[in-house]
Amino acid sequence: MGSEMCIRDRYGFMIIEDASHGIGGKYKDQPIGNCRYSDITVFSFHPVKIITTGEGGMALTNDEALAHRLALFRSHGISSSAADMQVRPNDEIWNYQQIALGFNYRMTDIQAALGLSQMQRLDEFIGNRHTLASRYDSRLTSLPLVTPWQHSDSYSSYHLYVVRLKLDQIEKTQRQVYDAIYAEGVLVNLHYIPVYRQPYYEKMGFKQGYCVQAEQYHREAISIPLFPGLTEAAQDRVVEVIREAVSL
Ligand SMILES: *Cc1c(COP(=O)(O)O)cnc(C)c1O
């Protein structure tokens, strides 16, 4: 664990990294998922993510005790390891005991096989994403958009390529730009709606205006297509469609 975790140690909380998008990325040349700055890192293997197992994901930790508990929770809280089992008088030790309240979070072997084969292509996927992202960077600079800024310490997995519209330089609303792009058959999206604007959290009392910057971002953001199989010709067309959509 890095000294960067000193706030965690001082106040005694734990850090769980939601790195659902982050597999294949790096920070200061170290892979996301090494848990240098967290107790647990999670990846999602949902079909739209960097690699997939159909559904499912992975939790990573360097803490043996946590790893053991995660494995227990994965399978009904049941252990068949002699070290976990209680020896009680007049009890036979059968081949398993339930020692915690778990659930069934198991991945099937078939999913795992897909995941292993996907892992072999991880660097290729991320490399393609980087090539495409830098093509976008150079081709979109002249437009009234903010392209994703990258810190020199970070090597993004580029799960998404989100541009921010400079709405003061565009005579259209975000929705009009979105619709204009979509009408040309280019699948754009909005990532994401600030979580507290969801009805579930609003019921807890969160209101519009709570995170002004997040809301500003939400009014300007549009995700444009980025995936390893995107051809350069298709990407160039996306750029042209965007250019027209943000023009007067
Ligand atoms: C996809 C995603 C999730 C959910 O992942 P599941 O595999 O559906 O559990 C959570 N957080 C972020 C940031 C994600 O992108």
In the chain, where the domains are located: 3-119, 122-246
Confidence bin at 184 (pLDDT 50/70/90): very high
Query: Which pLDDT belongs to residue 89?
Result: 74
Which pair of structure tokens corresponds to residue 132? 């495409």
- Arithmetic mean of pLDDT, 161-175: 97
Which pLDDT score is estimated for 3?
59
Which residues lie below 8 Å from residue 191, measured CB to CB, with a gap of 6+? Answer: 160, 162, 221, 223
Within this chain, domains 3-119 and 122-246 share the same CATH topology: no
Q: What is the mean pLDDT of residues 95-113?
A: 94
Q: Under a CB-based contact definition with an 8 Å cutoff, are residues 61 and 40 in contact?
A: yes
Cα(157) to ligand 1 centroid in Å equals 15
Ligand 1 probe mutation, 16, 20, 195, most atoms within 8 A of CB: 20
Which among 19, 7, 9 has a CA at the least distance from the CA of 154? 19
SS3 state of residue 163? strand
d(CA 82, CA 166): 62
* Cα 58 to ligand 1 centre (Å): 11
Sheet strands side by side (includes 145-146): 145-146, 161-165, 221-224
Segment among 15-24, 82-91, 220-229 with least mean pLDDT: 82-91
pLDDT at residue number 6: 83
Position 238 confidence tier, pLDDT thresholds 50, 70, 90: very high
How high is the pLDDT of residue 106? 94
Helix, strand, coil fractions of the chain, as percent rounded to 5: 40, 15, 50
What is the pLDDT of the chain when averaged over all its residues?
94
CATH topology of domain 122-246: Aspartate Aminotransferase, domain 1 (3.90.1150)
Could you tell me which CATH number the domain at 3-119 has? 3.40.640.10
Answer yes or no: is pLDDT of 93 > 70.
no
Nearest CA to ligand 1 atom 14: 20
Asked if the model's pLDDT at residue 2 lies above 80, the reply is no
Contact (CB, 8 A) for 157 and 129? yes
pLDDT, mean of residues 27-50: 97
Quote the ligand 1 centre to 63 CA distance (angstroms): 23
Cβ–ligand 1 distance for 52 under 6 Å, the answer no
pTM over 0.85: yes
